[in-house]
Amino acid sequence: MKRIDKLLLTLFKKDIIKELFGSALGSLFFIIIINLFPSYLFNTPIRETFCSLMVLGFLMIFIVFNQNRPRLKIFKIDFKRNIILFTVFNFATIYFLFFKTEFGLNGLYGDNWYRSAFLTRLSSSGVPIDFAYKDLSAFYSPLYWYILAIYARFFQIAPYKMIKLGILFFYFLLPILLFECWKKIYNSKISFIITALSFLIIGDTCLIDHIISVFFLVPFIIYYYENYPEKEFKIYNYIIAGFIGSLLLCTFFYYFLIIPVYFFISLLQKGKHFLRSGLKRYLWISIFIIIFSSWYWAPLFRDILIYGFESHQNNYFNIWFVEALPIISYFSFSILGGVILSGFIYLIIKRPVSRDIRILGNLLIAVYLIFIIGLLGIIFFFPIMHIRFLDVFLYLLIISSSIFYVRIFKFINRKKFLKNYKLDLDIQQIELFFLGFLISSYIHSNLIDLYSSTGYEYAFTEGIPHDIVEKISELDYKGKVFLMNDWKVAAIIPINLFIVHNPHYSHPSSLYSQRVEFLIKLSLCNDSNRFHENIINNKFGPIDYFFLNIDNSSKVHFFYAFIDFFPIKPYNILISFDNELFEDDDLFEEIEIGIEDRVLYRTIY
């Protein structure tokens, strides 16, 4: 018992435990209060009024509890308390805004349908598999979704509801974890400012897995790959670094593209010195990352070797991809413009003399190189989705501007400029007042953007197709493959789809265009036996159920197959099958479903 007591005492002395405990108490208080609210408080304009009160409440408490020379110790500046305050107020407003819905932002629209399908399939299988295709491993980095799915499975929660719970976890856990992460590199003031501004400027609730990777990859590169601050590296340090890096890679892999580009820049700048001092560290950390993340990439690589590779993700194109450039896109007469400009200028001035700023500067150069490669890729018809690195660009300049903010006020205070002009002002107090107003302004602006957005409206208007879900649930659907238009059903029931409606979501080893070609040829069949034979004997596996649309003609329709090969303009293909192909009772069974414009056939084999 004494050992347990000693262990608990040691744990509660750690800052991260104190911060999580304090945030949990504050969040629990708001959860209880919000659950007692009558229904009308969640409607406009009361909803907007509550959000405004929360912003003003945050500002007032922040100012009161950050006094430079307080009479009471409780009002002394404490950035550990500030991160608790920031976490609780953000969590409380998000909890309030989504209290009356079981969906997250965007409902099941856009990318959320496949994320929900991913959660549903992961929760059902218990292992990382693709969200749609049978016998294929997870293509999208699965760790974040896998954790949510296991949580849903353990607590018997409908997996699609975890999109909303994931947002709440994001606002409760991530600020504290990021704050503690940056404290390994900078003091608590700089760490708090980086954390707060990062969450408010680039904290996208629709792309949580992406944001986690961005937030933690940059300090990971600084702390481990660049060994800043300087520390002795032993074998266990490499193992820890490799394990942490593997968690980030398995959360969202794409941002790891910056590492080889950054490595190339460092090699050019440092030459032999880098080869002697940094190469060993880079190689060992990367090797351990590859080993610890193999549970994700090894099955994916096996699928590619067995089935082939046909990626359509990079075929998605918007003219904004070539128009949105780092710097130009964000330099404006606004608070964000000021933050970005100050961070950029500070990087240029301090890069030659400050090692940490030089690392940030080289990472920024790496972002520019990726943009150049991406734009050249568009010219040569091989885009690489370089636009994702705009968030990295923003993050780097937020870090730089946060350092600049703290150091410029420290410089002014040390030089006592204002006292020379007989102005007896508390510089540190002014610094904190301005910071409080800056954070409050961003919180308020983000809340307005959130509850005014179409995505927020979708969170409340989204409806589950209960009639279709009920009919599919009655079938022997486990392990079976469906050809269907109503792909949102996959977000609710863990079914296999023969093909998804959009190639951008499709697993590269699913060979999307070949599946479309197969369906087109199948639709041209005029003989039931040959039609049936092709269905059960093809390279993709049998189609067990046809859940199709019907109209007044003699055709049953599949869907508008979406074809997108950059730079050709995307187009749709309507794939239809003749009713007579399904009329042989020895080959197909028509299942009565009682839905007016749908028909369901089961393939007999």
Q: Helices in 335-384 by DSSP H: which ranges?
A: 335-350, 355-379
- CA-based radius of gyration for the chain: 27
Q: Which two tokens stand for residue 114?
A: 């496949």
Cβ proximity of 456 and 47 under 8 Å: no
Distance, in Å, from the CA atom of 29 to the CA atom of 252, rounded to the nearest integer, reads: 33
Q: b/e map of 84-95 (b: 16 or more CB within 10 Å)?
A: bbbbbbbbbbbb
The two most distant CA atoms of the chain are separated, in Å, by 98
Residue 7: the pLDDT is 46
Residue 464: the pLDDT is 83
The residues pairing with 598 across neighbouring beta strands, listed in sequence order, are 549
Mean pLDDT per 10-residue interval, the chain, length 605 residues: 51 79 95 91 90 94 84 81 96 95 90 92 91 93 95 93 94 96 96 96 89 96 94 91 97 95 90 79 95 96 93 74 74 76 90 91 95 88 85 95 91 67 68 92 92 92 85 91 89 93 88 90 90 94 91 65 65 82 91 86 93
Distance, in Å, from the CA atom of 500 to the CA atom of 505, rounded to the nearest integer, reads: 7
Amino acid code (one letter) for 405: Y
Cβ proximity of 596 and 543 under 8 Å: no
Residue 8: the pLDDT is 45
How many CB atoms are closer than 10 A to CB 480? Answer: 16
Cβ proximity of 221 and 363 under 8 Å: yes
Cβ proximity of 269 and 362 under 8 Å: yes
Residue 417: the pLDDT is 58
Residue 394: the pLDDT is 93
Residue 68: the pLDDT is 74
Residue 63: C-alpha distances to residues 191, 206, 412 (Å) = 19, 31, 21
Amino acid code (one letter) for 79: F
